[in-house]
Amino acid sequence: TNQKYGKIAIGHSLFFFALTITSIITIKFVSISNDFIYLICFFLISTIGIAHGALDNLKGKKLLKIYKIKNIIFFYLFYISLALFVATSWIFFPELTLFIFLIIACYHFGKEDTSFFLKDNKFISKHNYGGFVNFTLFLKGLLIVVSPLKFNPDETQYIFEILAPGSSSVLFFYLDILFFLSCITYLWFLFIIESFNNDSGATIIFDFLSIILLNYFLSPLVAFTLYFCFLHSIRHSISLILIIDKRNLRKGTFKFIKKVLPLTLATAIVFFISFFYLKNYYAIDVVMLKVIFIGLASLTFPHILLEYLVEKNEK
């Protein structure tokens, strides 16, 4: 029911807000080396962060069934080939690949972080995720990209320069406008969800505050890691858990962990192998940033395409 989804969403947002405050206090007042922080970020993204996409094989089976293809190997070949194509394109076209990745990631973050507690919302149902709704979801997710640029421009530019030299200049030029539009979009969502329930309004507020506080007080990598792992990934995982078992969240969680463990471990191993290989050529912090963001981009493209195809064929 709407009320059930709303209570789960606000519970998760309150948890994330508490984690945000705790993390800020801990990192600001406890002496922790940057290398150790980078290592923790790398580990969290390689495990908790990527876990929410580890059921893509089940979605792949569903898609193959729709297209009447029996052999699951076709799904794995396509998925891995697309991921490798994205990773390779980063070598030859880094600026273009990063730009496309940021555009897609903004929409993905906006949609996945919001759709959970907008299920059966009258406005969303009426417009059926049309162009206007999709654009507002993009603007909402844009906050994840522009906040670190707004509050920590030097560190964020350093990350962008590692991934694609010269790629941050356009974002800096329009930064204030983009940041303003993204913040206004959060307020807009407060109006359209009033037909849902009050818990969703509180969820929007706490999510917004958490993202702003993280990026204001913490470094871009730490802020992104906490957001990606404990807001985006966990929220998407909860939606999958409820699909597995709507009646019992605890049982559904155990079933979910069992199902995602194989692909999560496999992907984490690839991340760590990439790290140990590249550390022979780059500084440790550079290696971690490359593996994290290029690795996430390589997984994000097939992940989003798969979800799009499944949703399109289920309508």
- Euclidean distance between CA atoms 143 and 150, whole angstroms: 10
What is the model's pLDDT at position 313?
73
Residue pLDDT, tens place only, 111-168: 888 876 555 545 555 545 557 778 888 999 999 999 999 999 889 888 988 988 766 5
| The overall pTM is greater than 0.85 | yes
Comparing 42 with 310, which gets the higher pLDDT? 42
Q: What pLDDT sits at residue 173?
A: 63
- What local confidence, expressed as pLDDT, does residue 142 receive? 93
- Nearest-5° angle of CA 300, CA 306, CA 312? 130
Q: Where are the alpha helices (H) located in 164-248, listed in sequence order?
A: 169-173, 175-192, 198-217, 220-227, 234-244
Lowest mean pLDDT, pick from 88-102, 171-185, 268-282:
171-185
234-244 and 2-29 helices cross at what angle (nearest 10)? 150
Is residue 11 helix, strand or coil?
helix
Please report the sign of the dihedral spanned by the C-alpha atoms of residue 207, residue 229, residue 5, residue 129: positive
pLDDT in tens, 238-252: 888 888 877 777 888
Residue 211 CB burial class (10 angstroms; 0-12, 13-18, ≥19): buried
pLDDT at 236 over 80: yes
pLDDT of residue 241: 86
Give the model's confidence band at 315: pLDDT under 50 very low, under 70 low, under 90 confident, else very high.
low
pLDDT at 174 over 90: no
Query: Mean pLDDT score of the chain, rounded to an integer?
Result: 85
Bigger pLDDT: 278 vs 189:
278
Q: How many whole angstroms separate alpha carbon 184 and alpha carbon 202?
A: 16
The whole-number pLDDT of residue 127 equals: 47
Region 64-77: what's the mean pLDDT? 86
Question: What is the percent of the chain where pLDDT is above 90?
Answer: 38
Q: How is residue 72 written in tokens?
A: 């699951």
Mean pLDDT calculated for residue range 284-299: 92
